[in-house]
Structure 1
Amino acid sequence: MPFDLDRFLADCSDAAEAGHPRALREVVARAVADPEALMARLGEPQRAGVTKLLHRPGLTVLNLAWGPGMTIMPHNHRMEAVIGLYSGREDNIYWRRIETEDGPRIEAAGAKSLGARECVPMGRDIIHSVTNPLNKLTGAIHVYLGDFFAAERSEWEPETLTEQPYDVVKNVGLFEAANRRLAQA
């Protein structure tokens, strides 16, 4: 059965408006359950990057492609989210805030590896880092219960694990660097 993008986005909107993150997870899980149909509609990932499928104040739906070996440092979203993979693999490390003699930091608190057809909800306070451990692109649908692009977020410096404002330009650059490596391969 073909993937109906309009129906998927309408279902995401209905779940978001009803305030039901669990229902949103079910919508995303249904979408990634048939990766071939999803890719027939959206296309197979060719480049690392982020494509907006829907963007409004209460809901953002993205088609995201992680480059081979790409890593995004620890960051938060400050909104609930559901992540579903339709190709490749995404390794998440979850972090928690701690107080140290040198001030606030984060420390690893768990991990979850996702593959195609898998889906995970993320609470509004989750801090995570993401790595594509494969030598190929990873495709994922990311649904955020909020305006992903307007939210003030934080990221944590990878070496010191200290909090700083999320740097959109730096993170877009990580996707472009992954594309340069992909072109050289």
Structure 2
Amino acid sequence: MSTAAHRFDREQFVADCVAARGDGGMPAVREVLQRAVSDHRAVLDALGQPTGAAMDVFLQSPTLTIFTAHWTPRMNLLPHDHMMEALIGIYTGREDNILWRRSEEGSIEAHDVNCLFEGDVAALPADAIHSVTNPLLRFTGGIHIYDGDYFAAYRHQWDPDTLAEEPSDGEFIRQMFADENQRYQESIFR
């Protein structure tokens, strides 16, 4: 059980990440994130149990973006990139990643997997391409940190059937979350 000494403070976490980014770049930010999610119950106590597919933005700036991402049970995100370094720390649930790379034919091909459990942190380089699945029958919550303004960046996604590359933007992401919440609501009322 979390004690007062190990409480997660959202504002202090953001301040610590900003200071770490200035002092040692993303490797230093990773240490801050790892310390936070190592007591994943304290983070969950502070942020609450996720109840839908959503992003809760802590910080958006030209040099750093921090938000929580919540995945509904059995939610899948198609292959996509971020075009900047990324850190993911899981505080509840699980996130399974398929890591992709560009193929000789100009498409993408799967080349690795990474399963993140509560308390785990992953670092993705700026050129990473990944797809995400929450394989659980409960919600997953993670803290995501990007080395730049995630919401202003031009990104790509790949069609899950054809693996054809497409542009991605904030509107597509918002619609994907809305569709996922509708799918989840329909599944629980069947």
Q: Answer yes or no: same fold by TM over 0.5.
A: yes
Letter matched to residue 82 of structure 1: L
Greater helix percent: which structure?
2
The equivalent residue for 1:143 is 145
Aligned mate of 1:122, from 121, 124, 128: 124
Deviations along 1:39-66, one digit per CA (max 9) or x if unpaired, are 2221111111111011111100011101
Could you tell me how far apart the structure 1 residues matched to 2:185 and 2:78 are? 23
User: Structure 1 residues 154 and 19, CA, compared in 2 at 3 Å: closer, same or farther?
Assistant: farther
8 A contact 1:68–1:178 mirrored in 2: no
Greater strand percent: which structure?
1
The equivalent residue for 2:180 is 178
Unpaired segments ≥5 residues, structure 2: 1-5
The equivalent residue for 2:76 is 71
- Give the drift of 1:167: 4.0
- Give the drift of 1:21: 1.7
Question: TM-score normalised to the size of structure 2?
Answer: 0.91
Could you tell me how far apart the structure 1 residues matched to 2:25 and 2:137 are? 36
Could you tell me how far apart the structure 2 residues matched to 1:98 and 1:19 are? 33
Could you tell me how far apart the structure 2 residues matched to 1:157 and 1:16 are? 34
Letter matched to residue 17 of structure 1: G
SS in structure 2 of the partner of residue 14 of structure 1:
helix
Unpaired segments ≥5 residues, structure 1: none
8 A contact 2:154–2:169 mirrored in 1: no
- Give the drift of 1:172: 2.0
The equivalent residue for 1:134 is 136
8 A contact 1:71–1:129 mirrored in 2: yes
Deviations along 1:59-110, one digit per CA (max 9) or x if unpaired, are 000111011111111111011111000011101000110122xxx1000010
8 A contact 2:90–2:117 mirrored in 1: yes
Question: TM-score normalised to the size of structure 1?
Answer: 0.93
- Give the drift of 1:19: 4.7
The equivalent residue for 2:170 is 168
Percent sequence identity is: 45
